[in-house]
Amino acid sequence: MASIFRRPLSTLSPVAFRRLQQIPTLRRLATTMSAAAAPVDVLRRFSSTTGDDGGVIAKQTIKITYIDPSGEEHSVDAEIGKNLMDVAHDNNIELEGACGGELACSTCHLVFEKEIYDTLPPKTDEEEDMLDLAFELTETNTYLRRPTFHFLVPVLVVKFVSQERWKGSKLEFLTMDTDQSE
Amino acid sequence: MSSVSRRVREDAKAEAAREYEEDEEEEEKREGAIDDVDDDDGGTTSGQIGRHRRSRRHFGWSGVDVDVIERLPTPYGLVRYGVAPDHPEVKNVEREYASMFDVYGSDYDVQGEDYKDVDDDDGAEGEGRRKQRATCTLSYFGNVDVGKDVSLSHLESTYDVVVLAYGCQSSEKRLGVPGEDVLDGVLGAREFVAWYNGHPEFEHVGRIVGRCLPRPSSSSSSSSSSTSSGGGGGGGGGGGGRGVSPARVVVIGQGNVALDVARVLVKGGTGLVDTDLPNSVMEILGDGVSSVTVVGRRGHVQGSFTIKELRELTRLKDDGHDASFVVRNEELDLGMTKSSISELKSTSGRPKTRIDKLLREAATSNDDAISGAAKQVELRFLMNPIRFEPNDRDGDRVGRVIFERTNLVGDPFDQKSIGTNVVESMPADLVLVSIGYRGMPLEGMEEGVFDDRRGVVANVHGKVVGENNLFVTGWIKRGPSGIIGTNISDAKETVASVMEYIDSGDVVRPPYSRRRGRVGLAEILQRPYVSWPRYLKIDAAETDRGRLRNDAQPREKLLTVDEMLKAAFEA
């Protein structure tokens, strides 16, 4: 079962962060901020690198797979609580992130499989705006034939969906390489 | 009003402008002149370290030395002089670029300066760097004008490969209407942008702008001008608007650059105080202007602006800039021809559909928007400029723009605007024309290499046509369009062509090329060039806390080449 994920940006700009704060649910707040931008108490909930007693707790990870534009698969241990751009970069996966996670480009977007996509929180206007550009530039015939869904948001790995569903899931990322329309 | 035509060699990768499309500033790919290519693992010019690694896997080269040549002392091109001051996130690519110099910066130094010694790094990171450095080095040559300081043909014989990435910097396209060249106050948007970004060659634009924007009125009488915003000029309620210039500015164009200049004019220096907008520009822009009208020849569906920039304009008021955003429902309707509807329904229609929705929402909330704001940005559509008329008070300056209302006619994606003989007169103290850019041939380029019709250098997948070792990337290869992503793949294509060229021909005679590369270049150059460490001195001078107006300002740019060189060569 290949799941393909659309991967979002790693960090939010201060403006985006402020906007998110206006959204009532903590769940939303948690799931749409990168680990780096999250307030400390939320961070503690999702990452587990140090325990309260000062000892180091093993990081919780799940295995996910990134599929690069050439079709090559890269299986990695994704640290729970980290966003998918950082996970990729930590594992030397060559996912572009031209604007550094500021929602100012569309080079880091990933494609998710529908059933995972459906569990992800709704995208903000800013994300959809950037996705407009990705759409235009990456839609190709082969792409449209697959049941794929574009998604572009900072997401903490496996916070709000069961780990079981994400385990072994595959994230496919597209770059301009796959754009045939130019 | 003549735009300075510049022939520059610009840095690549670092020139972001994701937000710019058609008639706009753009990301340009770094150009490198590659020398001393050995046989094994190869590196790349433009592109990230990751791409570098990928190419090393595929091609067996042992080393590539890349030199980046730039006419100004400072690198980054449009990231520095095109991207608006309030879009700092777009400039993030600078970091990546700088880090490449960190890792690959050559310790070969013709001027005898101290380069960072990678051998000082401890641990795995230092080890990795040393390994990488052994096979690929990178040098920067700022303040080198190709055509003046070194000829193109000299470069072609000094280096194995020369990649041109100098973008489309020529004079902008002309409207070709009466008054365009004669009246003071009709400027190209690109010049205006270069000025507010502190480009050394555009200081004169500041004098024109200063002349044309009326001083903020000190009286508190509210203006009842029918064509400008509902809010009065000076002395608006609540502290805001005291220094707003009653100027009316008309921007002709429908791209992101047009929206950028509108936004900067309306925010004013005050609204940009926390950005890298230079102090001298802040003074001239003051608290902003009372009215900017952005006028497009075609409809909103055909506009090349992107939604992020439009949304920004709708949020000006909420962000505290005391500026309303106005768009007319009638003009949105006028633009919704059958063909426009088809365009929206097409596979590429999603972005346009969202733009349509955003503008419709803005149009219906107009009434709340207009009242109370001291400043206004209005988008107008389906208006074609036919004439500029002089100012009643000063016949040398522009005073009005005469537009002809148009209708859209034609098939989807091929609609043209046809005049209707209905005219409208719009008062204008300043006019900024933003309708497109063109490339120009580089001095010394051979006949037939520059495609005059398209305004680009003729090429096949980045290899310049003809018997030469020239390549192109970026706008000078494709024309002025695209965003960050487009340029990344553009660069990859050119790099692939470069590698093919080197692998297939006998450009390089193993084990070493006979060409002298950067040693040869340094011998040719008469004037001092700015190396990367010297550029870092300029950078340090600009970010020196003592120079900044507040804690948030990222940098106060040096505005002249002389000042830059002084900082670069300070002991």
Q: Are strands B375-380 and B323-327 parallel, antiparallel or unpaired?
A: parallel
- Range with the largest mean pLDDT of A90-99, B13-22, B316-325, B507-516: B316-325
**Residue range B61-80, pLDDT digits in tens:** 557 788 999 999 999 988 89
**B533 preceded by a cis bond (ω within 30 of 0):** no
Residue B354's nearest CA partner among A149, A132, A121 is A132
**B5 and B440 Cβ atoms separated by less than 8 Å:** yes
What is residue B551's predicted lDDT score, i.e. its pLDDT?
93
Mutate to test the interface with B, among A91, A126, A133 (most CBs of B within 10 A): A133
What is residue B171's predicted lDDT score, i.e. its pLDDT?
61
What is residue B314's predicted lDDT score, i.e. its pLDDT?
94
A105, A176, A177 member nearest B18 (Cβ): A105
| Whether the predicted pLDDT of A29 surpasses 50 | no
What are phi and psi for residue B549, nearest 5 degrees? -80, -20
- Range with the largest mean pLDDT of A136-150, B84-98, B227-241: B84-98
Q: Which residues of chain B lie closer than 8 angstroms to A106, CB-CB? A: 18, 483, 485
The Cα–Cα gap between A111 and A99 comes to 19
| Whether the predicted pLDDT of B41 surpasses 90 | no
- Out of B42-51, B98-107, B121-130, B379-388, pick the least confident: B42-51
Residue A5's nearest CA partner among A176, A150, A158 is A150
Q: Which residues of chain A lie closer than 8 angstroms to B50, CB-CB? A: 92, 94
CB contact (8 A) between residue B348 and residue A98: no
Residue B334's nearest CA partner among B420, B426, B241, B454 is B420
What is residue B490's predicted lDDT score, i.e. its pLDDT?
85
Q: Is pLDDT larger for residue A46 or for residue A119? A: A119
Q: Which residues are CB-contacts of B77 (< 8 A; sequence separation ≥ 6)? A: B8, B10, B11, B14, B15, B28, B70, B167
| Whether the predicted pLDDT of B216 surpasses 50 | yes
What is residue B23's predicted lDDT score, i.e. its pLDDT?
20
Please measure the distance between the N-terminal and C-terminal CA atoms of chain B and give it in whole angstroms. 41
Question: What's the Cα-to-Cα distance from B41 to each of A55, B67, B374, rounded to whole Å?
Answer: 44, 18, 61
What is residue B135's predicted lDDT score, i.e. its pLDDT?
64
What is residue B533's predicted lDDT score, i.e. its pLDDT?
92
* Percent of chain A predicted with pLDDT > 90: 0
Q: Which residues of chain B lie closer than 8 angstroms to A132, CB-CB? A: 306-307, 350-351, 354
**Residue range B408-421, pLDDT digits in tens:** 999 999 999 999 99
Beta bridge pairs of residue B150: B146
Instruction: Quote the minimal CA–CA distance from B178 to chain A in Å.
Output: 37
Strand stretches in B205-360, DSSP E: 245-252, 289-295, 323-327
The Cα–Cα gap between B340 and B126 comes to 57
Q: Which residues of chain B lie closer than 8 angstroms to A182, CB-CB? A: 486, 489
| Identity of the residue numbered B111 | Q
DSSP assignment of B396-426: TBEEEEEEEEEEEESSTT--EEEEEEEEEEE
B501's tokens: 């060229």
**Residue range B332-354, pLDDT digits in tens:** 999 999 999 999 998 778 889 99
Annotated binding site of B for FAD: 70, 78, 146, 475, 482-484
- The whole-chain average pLDDT of chain A stands at 51
Q: Taking residues A1-5, what's their average pLDDT?
A: 29
Q: Which residues of chain B lie closer than 8 angstroms to A13, CB-CB? A: 89
Residue with tokens 């090349």: B304
CB contact (8 A) between residue A106 and residue B483: yes
Q: Distance of alpha carbon B315 from its chain centroid, rounded?
A: 23
Quick one: closest CA in A to B353, which residue? A132
Strand stretches in chain A, DSSP E: 61-67, 73-79, 110-112, 149-151, 169-173
Total length of chain B: 571
Q: How many CB atoms lie within 10 A of CB A115?
A: 13
A99, A133, A175 member nearest B89 (Cβ): A99
Q: Taking residues A148-169, what's their average pLDDT?
A: 35
What is residue B118's predicted lDDT score, i.e. its pLDDT?
44
Place B566 in a pLDDT band, splitting at 50, 70 and 90: very high
| Whether the predicted pLDDT of B499 surpasses 80 | yes
Q: Taking residues B388-415, what's their average pLDDT?
A: 95
A102, A132, A177 member nearest B489 (Cβ): A177
CB contact (8 A) between residue A104 and residue B18: yes
Strand stretches in A115-168, DSSP E: 149-151
Question: What's the Cα-to-Cα distance from B260 to each of A133, A158, B26, B81, B384, rounded to whole Å?
Answer: 18, 39, 13, 13, 21
Quick one: closest CA in B to A136, which residue? B348
What is residue A59's predicted lDDT score, i.e. its pLDDT?
64
Mutate to test the interface with B, among A18, A22, A129, A182 (most CBs of B within 10 A): A129
CB contact (8 A) between residue B92 and residue A128: no
| Whether the predicted pLDDT of B136 surpasses 80 | no
Instruction: Quote the minimal CA–CA distance from B311 to chain A in Å.
Output: 9
Q: Taking residues B3-25, what's their average pLDDT?
A: 23
A133, A175, A177 member nearest B306 (Cβ): A133
Q: What is the dihedral of CA A123, A147, B350, B368, to 10 degrees?
A: -30
A92, A132, A176 member nearest B489 (Cβ): A176
Q: Which residues are CB-contacts of A74 (< 8 A; sequence separation ≥ 6)? A: A65, A66, A67, A68, A91, A93
Q: Taking residues B16-26, what's their average pLDDT?
A: 22
What is residue A84's predicted lDDT score, i.e. its pLDDT?
75
What per-residue string of b and e applies to A126-162 under the rule 16 or more CB within 10 Å gives b? Answer: bbbbbbbbbbbbbbeeeeeeeebbbbbbbbbbbeebe
* Percent of chain B predicted with pLDDT > 70: 75
Residue with tokens 């973008």: B167
What are phi and psi for residue B555, nearest 5 degrees? -160, 155
With residue B66 as reference, give the H or E element that holds it: strand B64-70
Q: Is pLDDT larger for residue B358 or for residue B117? A: B358
